[in-house]
Amino acid sequence: MNHFLPIAYFQNQFVPFEEAKLSIATHALHYGTGAVGGLRGILNPENSREILLFRLERHCQRLSHSAKLLHYDLPAQQIKTIIVEVIQRNRPTTSFYIRPLVYASGLGIAPRLHQVEKDFLVYGLELGDYLPPEGISCRISSWQRQSDASMPLRGKLTAAYITSALAKTEAVESGFDEAIMLNAQGKISEGSGMNVFLIRNGQLITPSFDQDILEGITRDSILTLAKEMGIPTIERPVDRSELLIADEVFLCGTAARIAPVKRIEGYPLPLERPITETLRTKLIAITERRDSQYQEWVDSILIA
């Protein structure tokens, strides 16, 4: 059961979560004309009155860019200001997830982006581990990741998530934790809501941007960390069969963080995951502000 934070930002004001309600005629509900963001917040392990947010600026920039694809001008600084105030008003006492949403709020019935009102809302919910940290099982989905030619995949658009929902449910109903989707060329693209990494012969490999992936913020962070730590990295197309013989595989995202993969369909993967665990330990230390080198990635919000 989801436990939502009590205060939301809705229609330019802060209201109780239960009062933030949309019309059944809302354009985004019918046509997927929306864009989402999402970021984790944790309590500082050394100060429960301090909230830590990982790469807040980057999350706000991405949502601002996504809004632009919907013909909506929403500055990143405005998004940031509202997110910070939502957190301050809610005074969370446990780890949580913030969900900002840009959406076509008009009540028209034509599938279009022009001459349709847009709006912006923010709410939050308590969130622990999204996936089991000890390792997950994956299947290759029968559903294909969309192409950037059919949908602007540089944006985190709500319409794109129907494929993610189909793939996730197919995976779970067939006995797996997660799905990995291929693109139209039959190459590895991404999970239902996460980017994919693999390690072969000490090299960190991930599908490149031309493989119809979302420009993941956690993905970008991992690539930066790996290069700084001397781990060879490469972004390129990845074959399905290459995953099955990899030394290590993991998925990553804001909600999942780093989730190691222990099995892909009928193919077990090695239980020793030295590079995955090194990166995971480093990333957790950074998000908890225990790493002095990357403190600029973490915003601090004091709760009165």
Q: What CA–CA distance (Å, rounded) separates 154 from 145? A: 13
By CB neighbour count within 10 A (0-12 exposed, 13-18 middle, 19+ buried), where does 141 fall?
Answer: buried
The identity of residue 116, as a single letter, is V
Q: H-helix or E-strand containing 30?
A: helix 27-31
- 239: which DSSP letter? B
Q: What CA–CA distance (Å, rounded) separates 282 from 119? A: 37
**Annotated active-site residue in 80, 118, 156, 187:** 156
What does the block give as tokens for 204? 């960190």
Q: What CA–CA distance (Å, rounded) separates 149 from 282? A: 36
Q: What CA–CA distance (Å, rounded) separates 220 from 225? A: 9
The identity of residue 133, as a single letter, is P
Residue 44's beta-bridge partner residues? Answer: 47
What does the block give as tokens for 138? 């994956």
The answer to whether 72 and 118 have CB atoms below 8 angstroms apart is yes
168 classed as catalytic = no
Q: H-helix or E-strand containing 276?
A: helix 274-287
Q: How big is the CA angle at 128 (ends 126 and 283), to the nearest 5 degrees?
A: 120
| Residues that are catalytic | 156
